[in-house]
Structure 1
Amino acid sequence: MTPELTWLTLTAILAASLWIPYIVGVNRHAVEGQDAFLRPHDLTAYPAWVHRAHRAHLNLVEQALPFAIVVLIAHQAGVSTTLTIWAAGLFFWLRIAHAVGMISGAAGFPARPLLFTAGWIAILVIAVEVLRA
């Protein structure tokens, strides 16, 4: 398995697990009159961190698909360079930092948008390497 696929696998595990803080928050802070199975919840009725946990999950899902596509195309095309390996690893760690910063509230403006943008750039770096091959 290439390093890029390893980073993709770790990113998939993160995406598959990032719903947990949101669900913990929704269940820990039950709101009177709010059906536990009603989706989507009225997030304004919950503490701010619960809303941020929901957004952190959605933000990762928004970037995980393009990341997965370019990594899988790179793998299929036999493209694995120092640049793609570093970009894939950086993407994963940026997404960890984004999730932790967003849920905790520590990464406000401009940190959070910069982390998201850096992840986008990492995706573009891999895509450019694929297109150059």
Structure 2
Amino acid sequence: MTLELTYLLMTALLAGSLWIPFIVGVTSEREDFTDFTTPPDHRKMRPWVQRAFRAHQNLLETLIPFGIALLVAHVAGISTSVTVWAAIVFFWVRVVHAAGMISGLAVFPIRPIIFTVSYLCTLAVVAAILLA
């Protein structure tokens, strides 16, 4: 397995695990565990629970285009230092984003910078594909 796919797999595991803080927050806030037909109102939850939900959603939104780009590169046989570093940076930036978002430490302008770096990683992989 290439290093790019290894980091893509780790990013998928991160995305698949980020529901845990949110669910912990939801279940620790919910007083009535008999009515599961009504979804919880995120606006009424503690700020860190709201941020956990947003961190999970944000990772899912960025992982889809990045993952598709990396998979296209893999199928096309493109593996360069650009694609390797993009995969490494994307993963670690998303870890920092999730930790910073849930803890509340990643405030403006840190959050948009982190998001932009992850987007630039996607663009770097796409550029490597198009220039190959």
Common fold: TM-score over 0.5: yes
Aligned residues: 132
Match of 2:94 in 1: 95
TM-superposed deviation, 1:61: 0.3
Per-residue deviation, 1:31: 4.5
Which segments of 5 or more consecutive residues in structure 1 lack a partner in the other structure? none
- Distance in 1 (CA, whole Å) between partners of 2:48 and 2:34 is 18
Q: Which structure 2 residues correspond to residues 49-128 of structure 1 after superposition, within 5 A?
A: 49-128=48-127
> What is the SS of the residue equivalent to 1:26?
helix
- TM value normalised by structure 1: 0.94
Report the Cα offset of residue 58 of structure 1: 0.2
Q: 1:16 to 1:33 in 2, by over 3 A?
A: closer
Matches within 5 A, 1:34-53: 35-39=35-39, 41-53=40-52
Compared CA separation, residues 34 and 97, structure 1 to 2 (3 A): farther
Question: Residue 78 of structure 2 aligns to a residue in which SS?
Answer: coil
Identity %: 50
Distance 2:38 2:99 in 1: 26
**Paired AA for residue 9 in structure 2:** T
Calculate the TM-score normalised by the size of structure 2.
0.95
When residues 43 and 120 of structure 1 are mapped into structure 2, their CA distance, relative to the original with a 3 A threshold, is: same
CA RMSD across the alignment? 1.5
Q: Which runs of 5+ in 2 are unaligned?
A: none
